[in-house]
Chains A and B, each alone.
Chain A
């Protein structure tokens, strides 16, 4: 029993969910941590990646590699432009409202039965990832890494963490470039940046696109990992998981989002398994908690974490209060 909890916790720490949300959080960190954009619709960028890939392959019969390009660049860039053009000139909370509304509305559109032949409605699309798994050097039926992962999971694990590493490197290089310094200047004082002749709107738009693309890559890997793109995998609450990851690890730090995502999923996996064991062994009575309710407690946990962090520790665990905190402005 304890061994089961331990394995699940470790799987949470380094497993698939930590990877998807690490990527989503890296993107969000560029939005919020470095530029100060309040994107509450990271879920829709993730969905853009997942649907960009799956619709290219399943709906339009394109190749997987074209799908990767569409999912990583075409869909999220269009989305960022649509979201950004009306809102980026305005106060930060307008972007928040527009993004959260878009995320929910996109999900509703994707599950509309009338669009079944395009989006697969509420069942979503599947069967687009075989080219990816054909490249796998792992034997699907074998277990790897101390029996933690099956072959195909292991393949996603390897590719996923390599992608995370590349994105961290990209973030590091960009943020320490002149371009990145302008972003931080905009975050600190947009008017000052503008008065120095920087076009704040353009920089904010570029940051929105970049973070959106990284989030879309996360969504795409999620779609590949679960072998399906389903609207309900991208509910608005998914965005808040990424937010918790960013704030927990420390917004405005390079490694913060990744560490935050790993810690978040480690805690969630531990709580989940412990509660499930409690339910199945009868330690937690039925009137208190049933198997279905375990998943709901997870969201309460995430909500409480957000409240706690924003209130008590806005710089997160590793963040530097001087560099970036929620309280900056």
Chain B
């Protein structure tokens, strides 16, 4: 048969992917932007998990964060403002075999995309959702975003935002059927890696809010937290993330928090005295909408047509 011997076999060597295999175009974020570190963490988690680049999709909306798909050597979709999650849910719904990442920002996700954020959290499809929260619209040069602190002057509010910032954690933790909620800062590499790794391993929508430095427009937001680590609280637990003592030493405040306790997670999120870092909530058993939408996907077109016709016949007169 076509000149092949009877004992011929396709010997596919096991592939090992290096960081280079996940690296796309050269990042064009500003000097000192926290996004560089987040991208490095995503590449590392992909490498450590050995996910196939051709089975990976990075989806984004609009904003600085949303440049991420360009910097991934995977499939990507740089979508419309606020619409990263509907695209990602669509991808996951029709191609459940793909590893779907979403990169979005505080403007993209918490403002124009807020409705999609709420419902995507409830759908709980297997998506890793990274929100790069720098507290400002950076790409369009310093307009107030939903998470801009009140004392930070912006081009739209030169005397500072008029309303208190939205708390993305309390909002997310209030949505029905959520399964994974975490918060990190971009400048701590081991914490960043561990949480994004756990988020990626979780089967369901993993919401990770990343407090991200924007050194050009709102340097003070990140710098004040970096200079005052006592304003943050590291969440530790056997069911949470495991960090070595060298990392723990960087955070003077620790709290033992069981991520399966939703009530305690909400209390931590509401506590304005310290920013919780780590996994706030994790429920591996929450129902996933992508498990439901994928039912019957293996059926042939003929079988589907036959099934539809049979169903429609019930209404025939």
The judgment on whether A and B are partners is no
Interface positions of B (Cβ within 8 A of A) = none
Binding site for B on A (CB under 8 A): none
